[in-house]
Amino acid sequence: MVSEPAGGAQRAAHGGVPDPVTMERLRRRVNGWYAQAGRALPWREQDCSPWGVLLSEVMAQQTPLSRVEPVWRDWMEHWPTPSSLAAAAPGEAVRAWGRLGYPRRALRLHEAATVMVERHRGEVPNTPAELLALPGVGAYTAAAVASFAFRIPEVVVDTNVRRVLARTVEGKALPHVTLTRAESDLALRAMPAQRHTAPSARAEANVWNVAVMELGALVCVARGPRCADCPVADLCAWNTAGRPAYDGPPRRGQAWHGTDRQVRGEILRRLREQHRPVHRSHLDGAGPDPVQVLRCLDSLVADGLVEPLSHNRFRLPA
CA of 168: how far to CAs of 1, 123, 198, 221, 278, in Å? 25, 39, 26, 13, 54
Active-site residue, 170 included: no
> CB of 153 within 8 A of CB of 147?
yes
Helices 139-150 and 199-218 sit at what angle, rounded to 10 degrees? 120
- Of 57, 170, 183, 214, the active-site residue reads 57
> CB of 6 within 8 A of CB of 235?
yes
Q: What is the DSSP string of 166-183?
A: HHHTT--SS--SS--HHH
C-alpha 166/C-alpha 119 separation (Å) is 40
**Residues 6+ positions from 13 with CB-CB distance below 8 Å:** none
Active site residues: 57
